């Protein structure tokens, strides 16, 4: 496999997922232009999440990425996502229409992020593990990129952000098709989504532990991403806010990459649990950090940004490694779908509560997810400790 393949895949993931949080980067402009309430940011973010759930389940049931060349699926999804972003610009005055286009964007993203990971797995059947942190890190950086685009377009129209992510998405699809060779085709009988995966996740204690840990992670992750601009607005405005939001959220890419390196030595369960615990402590520390000196305030946010995303690759690796081989795809799809549904509930709940309660009183409740997630991970931590104790010295 050519050496360029992994960098191209990483860049394609980064650019292809850039439309994910485009609305969040320009929400103040939309609220000022159309008079929408603060809660609109939660509803529009939830639209993308719901679209991703629908797309992921639909792709899995129909075995789209197995029946058709994965590169072609990625390309068409990326081009469709670009068109959805442009359509959102044209219909932004209508909240319902914008919601619909953001939902459609989420459906398209289900053909970009998971399909990109599938292409990587086919290209590197024995070496995906070390690359997993970089690939999910690219998703994190891509999701944060609209904030950087808004900062660069400071003083310009908000539509520049949507035009930018549309162009990035289209180039991601074209670049991947041009520079990544077609992976080996899938052999054997194609099996769609298998509900037996639910039984495996419920009854196998190792699978159950990683899946429940992932659910706790998802309670916190996307809600934190939505609330970061509100937190920064207590001290910043304009391009300074947008650049800082990009840095805080994009720092999660460092957590993903570092977590992959540390997992080789300490194991995915320990790394995921440690990052989940630290991000939970960041939630609890919010009342003190919000009023802290600048260096401590921004340090707290960057640490939170690193750890809130950094455990994502490890949960994927744990679930894929512990699930029955024949059910790996179905277990991951169902776990992701339920996890994103949890994120929708969390986003809507916290964004609405943020209009009635101070952030200092609200943010600590995000720690419930990490707390329950760390507790759920105990069987994997105990198994890892027993394995190390039994290892020859």
CB 119 within 8 A of CB 70: yes
Question: Which two tokens mark 31?
Answer: 């609220």
Q: What is the pLDDT of residues 290-339, one digit of tens each?
A: 999 999 999 999 999 999 999 998 998 898 888 887 777 778 888 889 99
CB 44 within 8 A of CB 97: no
> Which residues does 216 contact at the CB level (< 8 Å), separation at least 6?
276, 368, 369, 370, 371, 372, 373, 374, 376
Residue 1 clears pLDDT 70, i.e. is over it? no
Percent of residues in the chain assigned helix, strand, coil, to nearest 5? 80, 0, 20
- Residue 282 CA to residue 194 CA, distance in Å, equals 38
Residue 200 clears pLDDT 70, i.e. is over it? yes
pLDDT band at 125 (very low <50, low <70, confident <90, very high): low
- Residue 130 CA to residue 261 CA, distance in Å, equals 7
Residue 386 clears pLDDT 70, i.e. is over it? no
Structural domains of the chain ordered from first start = 1-181 (1.20.1250.20), 191-382 (1.20.1250.20)
Mean pLDDT rounded to a whole number for the chain: 89
Residue 187 clears pLDDT 80, i.e. is over it? no
Place of tokens 């850039």: 18
pLDDT band at 68 (very low <50, low <70, confident <90, very high): confident
Residue 349 clears pLDDT 70, i.e. is over it? yes
Map residue 156 onto helix, strand or coil.
coil
Q: What is the pLDDT of residues 257-277, one digit of tens each?
A: 898 889 888 999 999 999 999
pLDDT of residue 129: 57
Output Rg (C-alpha) for the chain, integer angstroms: 20
CB 13 within 8 A of CB 131: no
> Half-sphere exposure of 190 toward its Cβ, with a 13 Å CA cutoff?
13
Residue 393 clears pLDDT 60, i.e. is over it? no
- Residue 88 CA to residue 99 CA, distance in Å, equals 9
Query: What DSSP line would sit under 96-115, residue for residue?
Result: HHHHHHHHHHHHHHTTTHHH
User: How many CB atoms lie under 10 A from the CB of residue 371?
Assistant: 19
- Residue 373 CA to residue 195 CA, distance in Å, equals 24
pLDDT, mean of residues 365-390: 80
Using a pLDDT cut of 70, give the percent of the chain over it. 92
Residue 355 clears pLDDT 50, i.e. is over it? yes
- Buried b / exposed e over 262-293, threshold 16 CB at 10 Å, is bbeeebbbbbbbbbbbbbbebbbbbeebbeee
pLDDT of residue 3: 74
- Buried b / exposed e over 68-89, threshold 16 CB at 10 Å, is eebbebbbbbbbbbbbbbbbbb
- Residue 270 CA to residue 275 CA, distance in Å, equals 9
- Residue 321 CA to residue 269 CA, distance in Å, equals 11
pLDDT of residue 96: 96
pLDDT band at 164 (very low <50, low <70, confident <90, very high): very high
pLDDT of residue 126: 61
- The CA distances from residue 41 to 27, 47, 146, 348, 354, in Å, are 7, 10, 14, 9, 12
pLDDT of residue 165: 97
pLDDT of residue 203: 83
Q: What is the pLDDT of residues 133-145, one digit of tens each?
A: 788 899 999 999 9
User: How many CB atoms lie under 10 A from the CB of residue 234?
Assistant: 11
pLDDT of residue 388: 43
pLDDT of residue 62: 83
- Residue 261 CA to residue 234 CA, distance in Å, equals 35
pLDDT, mean of residues 213-231: 97
> Half-sphere exposure of 140 toward its Cβ, with a 13 Å CA cutoff?
30
∠ CA 154-20-46, nearest 5°, is 110
> Which residues does 215 contact at the CB level (< 8 Å), separation at least 6?
335, 338, 339, 342, 369, 372, 373, 376
pLDDT of residue 64: 83
pLDDT of residue 93: 92
More confident residue, 149 or 130: 149
């Amino acid at each position: 496999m050519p050496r360029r393949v992994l960098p191209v895949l990483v860049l394609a993931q980064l650019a292809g997922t850039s439309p994910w949080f485009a609305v969040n980067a320009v929400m103040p402009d939309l609220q000022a232009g159309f008079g929408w309430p603060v809660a609109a940011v939660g509803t529009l973010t939830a639209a993308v999440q719901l679209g991703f759930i629908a797309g992921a389940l639909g792709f899995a049931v129909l075995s789209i990425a197995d029946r058709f060349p994965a590169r072609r699926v990625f390309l068409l999804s990326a081009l469709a996502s670009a068109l959805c972003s442009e359509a959102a610009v044209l219909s932004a005055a209508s909240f319902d229409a914008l919601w619909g286009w953001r939902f459609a964007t989420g459906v398209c993203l289900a053909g970009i992020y998971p399909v990109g990971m599938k292409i990587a797995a086919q290209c590197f059947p024995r070496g995906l593990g070390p690359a997993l942190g970089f690939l999910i890190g690219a998703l994190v950086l891509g999701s944060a990129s609209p904030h950087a685009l808004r900062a660069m377009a400071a003083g310009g129209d908000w539509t520049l952000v949507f035009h930018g992510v549309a162009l990035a998405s289209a180039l991601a699809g074209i670049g991947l098709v041009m520079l990544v060779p077609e992976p080996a085709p899938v052999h054997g009988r194609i099996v769609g989504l298998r509900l037996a995966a639910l039984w495996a996740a419920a009854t196998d204690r190792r699978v159950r532990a990683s899946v429940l840990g992932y659910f706790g992670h998802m309670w916190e992750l996307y809600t934190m991403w939505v609330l970061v601009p509100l937190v920064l607005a207590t001290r910043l405005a304009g391009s300074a806010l947008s650049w800082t939001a990009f840095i805080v959220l994009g720092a999660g890419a460092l957590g993903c990459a570092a977590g992959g390196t540390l997992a080789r030595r300490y194991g995915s369960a320990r790394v995921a649990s440690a990052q989940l615990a630290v991000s939970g402590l960041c939630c609890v520390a919010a009342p003190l950090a919000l009023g802290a000196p600048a260096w401590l305030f921004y340090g707290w946010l960057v640490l939170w940004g690193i750890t809130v995303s950094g455990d994502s690759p490890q949960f994927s690796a744990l679930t894929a490694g512990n699930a029955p081989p024949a059910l790996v795809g179905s277990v991951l799809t169902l776990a992701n779908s339920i996890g994103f549904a949890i994120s929708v509930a969390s986003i809507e709940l916290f964004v609405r509560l943020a209009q009635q309660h101070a952030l200092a009183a609200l943010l600590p409740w995000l720690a419930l997810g990490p707390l329950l997630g760390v507790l759920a991970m105990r069987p994997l931590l105990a198994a890892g400790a027993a394995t190390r104790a039994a290892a020859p010295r």
